[in-house]
Amino acid sequence: LGSLFLLRGKPEEAVRHLAWVVSRQPRQVAAYINLGQAYAALGKSLQAQAQWRAALDLDPQNTQVKSLLDRGK
């Protein structure tokens, strides 16, 4: 649901839903990635990078996360 809000241009709603997912499924890499993208859409780059680093901690070989972090520097 959070990803759908993100795709529909509603990052505030996406953050709310994705934060809930992350709190209940802390090993869900995609949720961290999408949560980071929602924060980035809101102009909250520090929060976005924190979520992407959490995703990278779970999946160190994830090239999507590495690319997102590189762009955020």
Percent of the chain with pLDDT over 70: 99
The half-sphere exposure of 66 on its side-chain side, counting CA atoms within 13 A, is: 5
Residue 73 has pLDDT above 80, yes or no: no
What is the rounded CA–CA span in Å between residue 51 and residue 46? 9
| pLDDT, tens digit, 9 for 90 and up, residues 12-69 | 999 999 999 999 999 999 999 999 999 999 999 999 999 999 999 999 999 999 999 9
The model carries a pTM of 0.94
- What percentage of the chain reaches a pLDDT higher than 90? 95
Please say whether the beta carbons of 47 and 39 come within 8 A.
yes
